[in-house]
Amino acid sequence: MDVVTSWVPVKDHIKSPDIIRRIQEQSWKGLCLKDFGPPKNKGVIATMPFSKGEVVCDYHGEYVTQEEGNRRMEQLFDEACYVFFFAGCGEKVCIDAQHSPCQCHPHQDTFGRRMNHSRRSPNVKPHVFKLPLPEGTRWHPIFLTLKDIQVNEELLWDYGVLCDEGFGGEAAALDWLAS
């Protein structure tokens, strides 16, 4: 009975004007880029505490088809690749954040593309929401916290890439994917 009384339906849309504005302006509060040095390089840390379930930032970039995203990944095989595949409205979509700064925010790096991977201890997770953006309603990935996050804690998410299968099998040699 406790499960039934505490259940809350999953929302698939966000209408908060504050979150929409933050996406449009890429003005996320409480986040900072940090250079961890090789092999990790840049990552994102919290500059304020976040509570479990709170919106942290989005994954921002150019919307392309899944086929175009795959083509772009093949071209970047030996480089860092910033593409995010997801399904929305029955179609598979990709956000390509390879070019940072992006065309719509030419003077800033975006936080979602800079968050590092952790399979064992992620503290944020992307959720795809329907958003009423100026260019039209579209599905868009937004990162929510999985637990309370403290100041100076690095934000990490599970990229969903398996070490023995990811990147055409080449990921087996990427030790950081297992962390």
Give the CA angle between residues 119, 49, 109 to the nearest 5°: 65
Q: Is residue 3 part of a domain?
A: no
| Helix extents (H) in the chain | 2-6, 17-25, 66-75, 111-114
Name the DSSP letter for residue 53: T
Where does 52-90 show beta strands of DSSP type E? 55-58, 62-65, 83-88
The three-class DSSP label of residue 17 is helix
* Closest C-alpha among 3, 19, 7, 38 to residue 129: 19
For residue 4, is it within any domain?
A: no
Domain count, the chain: 1
Convert 81-91 to b/e letters by CB count within 10 Å (16 or more is b): bbbbebebeee
Per-residue pLDDT of the chain (179 residues; tens, 9 = 90+): 444 444 344 456 677 888 888 988 889 999 999 999 988 889 999 999 999 999 999 988 888 888 888 888 787 665 667 777 877 666 777 887 776 556 666 667 789 888 999 989 999 999 988 888 777 888 888 999 999 999 999 999 998 865 444 444 444 444 544 55
Is residue 127 assigned to a domain? yes
Q: What is the value of pTM for the model shown?
A: 0.76
Residues spanned by the domain of 163: 11-178
89 assigned to some structural domain: yes
Residue 1 lies in a domain: no
For Cα atoms 122, 38, 147, give the angle at the middle one, nearest 5 degrees: 15
Q: How far apart are CA 52 and CA 124, in angstroms?
A: 9
Residue 5 lies in a domain: no
CATH number of the domain at 31, please: 2.170.270.10
Q: How far apart are CA 29 and CA 75, in angstroms?
A: 34
